[in-house]
Amino acid sequence: MTQTVRGTILQTPSPDTFEALPDQIVTIDDEGVIESIVDGVGLATDADTDLGPSLVLLPGLIDTHIHAPQWPQLGSNLDLPLEQWLIDYTFPLESRFEDLEFAVTVWSHMVPSLLREGTTTAVYYGSIHESATTALAEACVRYGQRAFVGRVAMDHPEGTPDWYRDQSATDAVSASQRSIEAIRALPGAGGLVEPIITPRFIPACTDAALGGLGELAEATKTRIQTHCSESDWEHGHVLDRCGRTDAHALDHFGLIADHTVLAHATHLTNDDRSLLARTGAGVAHCPLSNSYFSNAVFSTRSALDAGVRVGLGTDIAGGPEASLLAQCQHAVTSSQMLETGVDATRRTDRGVADSRIDAITAFYLATGGGADLLGINAGLLAPGRVFDAIAVDIGARSRVRRWDGDDWGQTFEKVVRGATASEIRHVWVGGRLVEPTPT
Amino acid sequence: MTQTVRGTILQTPSPDTFEALPDQIVTIDDEGVIESIVDGVGLATDADTDLGPSLVLLPGLIDTHIHAPQWPQLGSNLDLPLEQWLIDYTFPLESRFEDLEFAVTVWSHMVPSLLREGTTTAVYYGSIHESATTALAEACVRYGQRAFVGRVAMDHPEGTPDWYRDQSATDAVSASQRSIEAIRALPGAGGLVEPIITPRFIPACTDAALGGLGELAEATKTRIQTHCSESDWEHGHVLDRCGRTDAHALDHFGLIADHTVLAHATHLTNDDRSLLARTGAGVAHCPLSNSYFSNAVFSTRSALDAGVRVGLGTDIAGGPEASLLAQCQHAVTSSQMLETGVDATRRTDRGVADSRIDAITAFYLATGGGADLLGINAGLLAPGRVFDAIAVDIGARSRVRRWDGDDWGQTFEKVVRGATASEIRHVWVGGRLVEPTPT
């Protein structure tokens, strides 16, 4: 049975285009796909859901980089550089997900919490544990969140602690294969939740594991995610070990493919960008996390100009904020800071010209850019796309109130910069209204 | 009549000190001042308000820099440099506050909205209009927000448009004087709402107005606020016109005094910092706004190390976010970016060592630092201080959930980085529970 939703649409069809479509009638088929969008101005049609003037409709948010088992430390433990942070805080926490009951407790809080933040698609790293990872995929199915869920592979005896690693490259690959099969076999997963091959990053994986996972991706036609050139340390580690940049080393192992998701990529070279553009791989840009761990700002503008796909990510919990709209704010401000520089004592040569992006580009990364990176039919409200959407309150009592005289562009900017979970009144995934309560 | 509030206190007595006091009983006298705080562990005492284990008690937030009439554009109009932004967007909006009815509409939305964000003390710039400014002070009294309210003086025929300026230096000073008297005469203002002398900034004021306002401050014993060395443009403008830095020029005009609040101060010299430390003036640090308008990061660490008072500010609406906790996040991340630099192509000499601050320092700026800057008896829950406080939800369904095993330091970090208005369940100012609804 079809359903109709009526309201004003605000969205970004491209990185530099904003579109306001007042009072539209969206018809959604029983598969959750948009059949048609027609102008409702002057029409008396009763819609199944009429948002009225105090709610606006936007595409759902696509978070392309989340470490699910780091959820309990979100917002804390951010005083160490990456390489120490992993050992002191993060691997100990992730290792606790061997306990399936603990895992289910966390997923039952995290998945609905993220839906309330407007995250209709999530790209998750799990832990090394197959049961906890499958349970995460089950939670996504249960709560109705579109997701890619990856069991983490990490087997390097120097890059990982002996209490949290795959025992061999063979184990890393075979456990990853079993996890793909388990997620694909889940009732209700089809069209909503998919597996993704997830070597943690080169420092945590042996060459044998990396090569084996590349082959597994090819054989099982599964997408890939990993980290790439995140910080001076990580970038330098790969240069030393592999004699080439992270992106090229990953390519050597068969891990750079169409829709491969590379988190951070802060230290890409021009040649790296060409490789990504050519192969259809792209970047999960995590601006807030980068300010803690990356030693530099990812140049969104350079990546887009080179034809690289770019989505946005929270990097929970390296990024201490669950809201992807908050990441839009950080994407804009960090690009401003890249452009103007940070050190007032430097009177010349302070920043990098033409680096700035605005709220339109940032929101595109959070929606259409993420969809393009992943190769999914979401990220824009248009016929043929899934109806993944959020309705945001712009009424008189809202934090993102629309004042008399505001045009739709100003309203859009206010929503992108200011809406929190409280202002997001409805969330749909594939046409299904999800009204999640964290438990 | 005294009242008691029981709960766990999390706070920062100094820039580098965090204090967790589980299960305290706070006794507050009928003037709203804390009489005593005693350990309640093991005591059966019934408190008037018992916060239980799922709420924590923190000092109320002190926002040291807000442009009240810019509230309607919060979150939008951020695509221009400061000098154009003022002319194209901001002065036209501020000039609308000649209409008292419009002003009252805005104040009735803004003041309760800020209270809900946990802002128990606000330092406001009004507009040039006396009626709208007095109405703002009245709104603060009505909703119970501690505030400093300043009628803006700006008379420079080149730095301001002819449709939004004081007609002469004499007008600028006499209107400021009348505004001080009007606010001091308001019923209920005493001990809660005070006037503050507010020359906009040197580029908008003639020498005569600046000197006259310095004399007015001295004569009426009124605090002063203005902007100082905000951007390359503004810093350079003052150097050209006055032949000295902004801080020293303001001092020349009698505007640098104990508790003078200087917004931004991003481009201070060492000598400027010495001047501020010596005189007891200080800085309203506005990290989010700075990323848009200041061309550099304010070095909190340099200021604190030099003995300069530092509070935190939103700079609504140059800073597009009403929450002072969100500013804490930005204060931390911008300091990280100052420390590590932003430009990945620069392999050496990228950042400024020892610039980083953490959530403890940031929260201190938002509470005790602001109180010290203003010279008010708030910012810390301790006997003899006013009971300005917020209660934040850390329960199982909260965005800032306390997980089993978290210590209080981790809980504190989560609250500072993640609590939004929805998690702030109660707000007290001077012992009065304010439960504001924006209208």
CATH code at position B394: 2.30.40.10
pTM above 0.95, yes or no: yes
Is residue B390 within 8 Å of residue B378, measured between CB atoms?
A: no
Residue type at B221 in one-letter notation: K
Long-range Cβ pairs for the range A432-438 (8 Å, 24+): A432/A32, A432/A144, A433/A49, A434/A115, A434/A143, A434/A144, A434/A145, A436/A111, A436/A112, A436/A113, A436/A115, A436/A116, A436/A143, A436/A144, A437/A112, A437/B397, A438/A108, A438/A109, A438/A110, A438/A112, A438/A113, A438/A116, A438/B396, A438/B397
B264 phi and psi angles, rounded to 5 deg: 80, -75
Looking at residue A145, its pLDDT comes to: 98
Q: Same domain, yes or no, for A217 and A274?
A: yes
Question: Hey, are the CB atoms on A333 and B288 less than 8 Å from each other?
Answer: yes
Residue type at B11 in one-letter notation: Q
Chain B hits for A363, CB-CB cut-off 8 Å, are: none
Looking at residue A348, its pLDDT comes to: 84
Token digits of residue B409: 């330091």
Q: What CATH number corresponds to the domain at position B94?
A: 3.20.20.140
CA distance B305 to A109: 42
Buried b (16+ CB within 10 A) or exposed e, B99-124: eeebbbbbbbbbbbbbbbbbbbbbbb
Question: Hey, are the CB atoms on A79 and B421 less than 8 Å from each other?
Answer: no
Token digits of residue B320: 């597009």
Q: Same domain, yes or no, for B117 and B205?
A: yes
Looking at residue B41, its pLDDT comes to: 85
A439, part of any domain = no
Chain B hits for A73, CB-CB cut-off 8 Å, are: 410
Last residue of a domain, one of B345, B374, B403: B374
Which sign does the torsion angle of CA B308, B313, B319, B323 carry? positive
Domain of residue B430 covers 3-59+379-434
Token digits of residue B119: 């802002």
Question: Hey, are the CB atoms on A77 and B413 less than 8 Å from each other?
Answer: yes
Buried b (16+ CB within 10 A) or exposed e, A63-90: bbbbbbbbbbbbbbbbeeebeebbeebb
Contacts A–B by Cβ distance under 8 A: 174
Looking at residue B103, its pLDDT comes to: 98
Domain count, chain A: 2
Q: Which of B267, B296, B396 sits opposite A341 (nearest CB)?
A: B296
Q: Same domain, yes or no, for B343 and B387?
A: no
Question: Hey, are the CB atoms on B291 and A333 less than 8 Å from each other?
Answer: yes
Question: Hey, are the CB atoms on A403 and B72 less than 8 Å from each other?
Answer: yes
Question: Hey, are the CB atoms on A350 and B267 less than 8 Å from each other?
Answer: no
A117, part of any domain = yes
Q: Same domain, yes or no, for B292 and B355?
A: yes
A417, part of any domain = yes
Q: Same domain, yes or no, for B315 and B224?
A: yes
Q: Which of A294, A345, A410 sits opposite B76 (nearest CB)?
A: A410
Looking at residue B44, its pLDDT comes to: 83
Q: Same domain, yes or no, for A264 and A397?
A: no
pLDDT, tens only, B244-284 = 999 999 999 999 999 999 999 999 999 999 999 999 999 99
Distance to chain B for A154, nearest Cα, Å? 26
Chain B hits for A352, CB-CB cut-off 8 Å, are: 342-343, 345
Query: Of B424, B411, B230, whose CA–CA distance to B325 is shortest?
Result: B424
Chain B hits for A344, CB-CB cut-off 8 Å, are: 266-267, 295-297, 299
Looking at residue B436, its pLDDT comes to: 66
Looking at residue B435, its pLDDT comes to: 75
Question: Hey, are the CB atoms on B296 and A342 less than 8 Å from each other?
Answer: yes
SS (H, E, C) B217-230: HHHHCCCEEEEECC
B439, part of any domain = no
Last residue of a domain, one of A348, A374, A400: A374
Q: Same domain, yes or no, for A399 and A264?
A: no
Question: Hey, are the CB atoms on A342 and B351 less than 8 Å from each other?
Answer: yes
Last residue of a domain, one of B357, B374, B391: B374
Token digits of residue B239: 């150097």
Chain B hits for A297, CB-CB cut-off 8 Å, are: 337, 342-344
B7, part of any domain = yes
A150, part of any domain = yes
Residue of A nearest to B116 (CA): A399
Half-sphere exposure of B208 (CA within 13 A, CB side): 12
Bridge partners of B6, per DSSP, are B25, B50
Looking at residue A263, its pLDDT comes to: 98
Q: Same domain, yes or no, for B15 and B82?
A: no
Chain A hits for B329, CB-CB cut-off 8 Å, are: 320-321
| Residues with Cβ within 8 Å of residue B405, at least 6 apart in sequence | none
Q: Which of B70, B76, B107 to mutate to test the interface with A (most CBs of A within 10 A)?
A: B76
Give me the count of residues in chain A: 439
Distance to chain A for B365, nearest Cα, Å? 18
Looking at residue B437, its pLDDT comes to: 67
Q: Same domain, yes or no, for A206 and A100?
A: yes
pLDDT, tens only, A143-193 = 999 999 999 999 999 999 999 999 999 999 999 999 999 999 999 999 999
A387, part of any domain = yes
Residue of A nearest to B102 (CA): A404
Q: Same domain, yes or no, for A326 and A425?
A: no
Q: Same domain, yes or no, for B125 and B264?
A: yes
Question: Hey, are the CB atoms on B397 and A342 less than 8 Å from each other?
Answer: no
Q: Same domain, yes or no, for A229 and A349?
A: yes
Rg of the Cα trace of chain B? 21
Query: Of B334, B248, B251, B225, whose CA–CA distance to B286 is shortest?
Result: B334
The interaxial angle of helices B130-143 and B169-184, nearest 10 deg, is 20
Chain A hits for B294, CB-CB cut-off 8 Å, are: 340
Residues in chain B with pLDDT values less than 50 = none
Which sign does the torsion angle of CA A285, A288, A294, A296 carry? positive
Residues in chain A with pLDDT values less than 70 = 436-439
B9 phi and psi angles, rounded to 5 deg: -100, 130
Distance to chain A for B33, nearest Cα, Å? 31
